[in-house]
Amino acid sequence: MPRSTAEDVDGYLAEVVDQDRLTALIRIRELCRTELAEYEEVMAWGLPCYRRKGGEPEISFANQKQYLSFYLMRPDVRDDFEERLADQDMGKGCLRFRRTEKVDYGLLRDLLRATAAAPGEIC
C-alpha cells in the first residue's frame, strides 16, 4: 500500500482491502491503544503512529505491499529485547510479518509495555 493520505487511523484502516491483514492491523491497533493509553494516536508519514503527548512518534504500524510492519523507534527497547527479536524478520527499526498468522502479538504487547514504561531516545 503506498503512503496513505488518510486523515486518521480509521481512514487508514478503511483503505486495507485484504481481510486477514485488516484483522491483524485492527488487533495491533487495539494493543497500541491498550498498552499506550497515555499516548496520542496520530497519522504521521502516512502511517498510524503513537506518541507521548506532544512528542515524536515512538510506535507505528503499516500495511506494506509484501508484509505488515511494526515500527519500534526506541533503540533502548530494541536492545532490551535483543534475544526475543533475534528470530524475527527485522529491519533497523521495524518488524516485518509476511504472513498474518506469524504476527507475534505477545511480543508486540511486551514491546509496547516496555515503550510505555519510561521515556527514551527516539531514532
| Interval 66-86: pLDDT, tens | 999 999 999 999 999 999 999
Specify which residues 62 forms β-bridges with.
69
Which residue's C-alpha cell is 502479538? 105
User: Which of left, alpha, beta for 53 (phi over 0: left; psi -120 to 50: alpha)?
Assistant: beta
- Cα–Cα distance, 107 to 80 (Å, whole number): 12
Name the average pLDDT for the chain: 94
Which residue, 81, 63, 77, is CA-closest to 12? 63
pLDDT value, residue 111:
97
What is the topology classification, in CATH, of domain 9-115? Answer: Aspartate Aminotransferase, domain 1 (3.90.1150)
Provide the grid cell at 58: 515512538
- Output the pTM of the full model: 0.94
Name the phi and psi angles at 36, rounded to 5. -115, 45
